[in-house]
Amino acid sequence: MRCPVCKVPMIIVEHEKIELDYCTKCLGVWFDAGELALLLESLDLQVGELNISDIMTMPEKAIAEKKRRCPVCVKKMRKAAIGHEPEVVIDVCPQGEGLWFDGGELSQVIKQHVDKSSDESGISDRVVTFLGEVFQERE
C-alpha cells in the first residue's frame, strides 16, 4: 500500500494483533476501519464521539487541505473533522474502507477524547505507550 501523501510504500506494523500501515517518511498512519475499532477496544477506550461508523458517515468538512486518494480504492477521500480545540481533520475513504491520520493526529485525537478528570485508569497514558511501542519498533 502506498502513502496517500508521499506515494512511497508504507510498512505494515503489527502490534498486539492490530495491524496498521505506517509511512516512515511523513509518519502518517492508515487504519482499516476494523483495525481502528480494535485499537480503541484494546485500549478500553469508551469514547462516544469517536465512533467509527459515525466518522465514516460524517458530512464532508470544507477546508483547503488537499484531497488525498484512498490507498485501497484510489477514490478521493473525504475530510472529517473529529477533534476540537484544535480541530483535527482526517481523511476517510468514501467507501468506508479506512481512515488516514497525518503524523501525530491519532494521538492528538485520542487524547482529546479522553476526559482527563475521569481518566482514573490512565487511558491517555496507555494510548501514548501503545503508540510509542508501535513506532519504536521501527527504529
Closest CA to 35 of 1, 76, 79, 67: 1
90 touching Zn ion, by CB under 5 A: no
The C-alpha cell 502518517 sits at 28
Q: Which residues pair with 31 in a beta bridge?
A: 99
Measured from the CB of residue 16, what is the shortest distance to Zn ion in angstroms?
24
In 3D space, the residue among 96, 100, 59, 98 whose CA is nearest the CA of residue 80 turns out to be 59
Q: Per CB under 5 A, which region of 4-12, 55-63, 82-90, 102-110 contacts Zn ion?
A: 4-12
Min separation Cβ 68 and Zn ion, Å: 10
Contact pattern for Zn ion over residues 18 through 47, marking x by CB under 5 A: -----x-xx-x-------------------
**Applying CB under 5 A, does 73 fall inside the site for Zn ion?**
yes
Distance CA 48, CA 123 (A): 15
Residue closest to 36 by CA, chosen among 23, 21, 24: 21
- Considering the complex, state which of residue 20 and residue 123 has its C-beta at the smaller distance from Zn ion: 20
Query: Exactly one of 3, 18, 33, 88 binds Zn ion (CB under 5 A); which one?
Result: 3
Is residue 134 at the binding interface for Zn ion, with CB under 5 A as the rule?
Answer: no
CB of 54 to Zn ion, least distance (A): 18
| Alpha-carbon gap, residue 130 to 82, rounded angstroms | 21
CB 3 within 8 A of CB 26: yes
Q: Is residue 5 near Zn ion by the rule CB under 5 A?
A: yes
